[in-house]
Chain A
């Protein structure tokens, strides 16, 4: 079945540095979703991208969907300690969404 690959698996940054996680698929995706999971918590939906080349922003977070709709990225500008957690991308499967393995972000104050 369709799979999405995420890199890196871990990222440790100093507070104030930028952070980017990437999501790649071997097949064209009709849409892609991003979720955040705080330590000890559950995944929470952040955004869905649908259009080729789409870029969406949420405060310090910038989400991009590639022109070929096979890759996506999440970029956080000037990370804060509140950004810690695991970020997942998810692409559509059969009546469900298939999740990447996630990127765990830690932020050093």
Chain B
């Protein structure tokens, strides 16, 4: 039981490049979330999903897209990376919308 995994762990992008971050969970959780964490700003919700095939915007969705084609996977895409997207990205999952959240190890992204 791996819990929540994220790939890659680290990535450096140049401005304008695109990439996809993958989150996978093996706990059969319905809800999945993408957060970004910046110094002094806590965790800010980017997008979330309440089940396979669904997505919804969080607090800071601009510049990101997501897909939930399979229940266990939640993908976060950056179509044209900007330096303001330099951050640590965390994925989380939970059985219900207000229950304990299980976090992945994070992806540290730098955009130059």
Verify B40–A9 contact, CB threshold 8 A.
yes
In the assembled complex, the CB of A5 is this many whole angstroms from the nearest CB of chain B, namely: 10
Cross-interface CB contact of A44 among B35, B41, B99, B103, cutoff 8 Å: B103
Verify A99–B106 contact, CB threshold 8 A.
no
Bound Cα distance A43, B45 (Å): 14
Closest to B59 in A: A1
Write out, one digit per residue, whether chain A residues 1-35 have a CB within 8 A of any chain B CB (1) or not (0). 10000100100000000000000000000110101
Residues of B near A6 (CB, < 8 A) are 42
Bound Cα distance A90, B44 (Å): 11
Verify B42–A88 contact, CB threshold 8 A.
yes
Verify B40–A33 contact, CB threshold 8 A.
no
Cross-interface CB contact of A96 among B33, B102, B103, B105, cutoff 8 Å: B33
Cross-interface CB contact of A48 among B42, B50, B58, B100, cutoff 8 Å: B100
Verify B42–A96 contact, CB threshold 8 A.
no
Q: Is residue B98 within 8 Å, beta carbon to beta carbon, of the partner chain?
A: yes
Residues of A near B106 (CB, < 8 A) are 42
A:54-80 near B, CB below 8 Å: none
Cross-interface CB contact of B58 among A42, A96, A100, cutoff 8 Å: A96
Bound Cα distance A40, B35 (Å): 16
Write out, one digit per residue, whether chain A residues 73-100 have a CB within 8 A of any chain B CB (1) or not (0). 0000000000000001010111111111
Write out, one digit per residue, whether chain B residues 28-63 have a CB within 8 A of any chain A CB (1) or not (0). 000101010000111111001010000010110000
Q: Is residue B90 within 8 Å, beta carbon to beta carbon, of the partner chain?
A: yes
Bound Cα distance A28, B35 (Å): 24
Closest to B100 in A: A45
Q: Is residue B83 within 8 Å, beta carbon to beta carbon, of the partner chain?
A: no
| A-B contacts, 13 listed (Cβ < 8 Å) | A1-B59, A6-B42, A42-B103, A42-B106, A45-B101, A48-B99, A88-B43, A92-B98, A95-B56, A96-B31, A96-B58, A96-B97, A102-B42
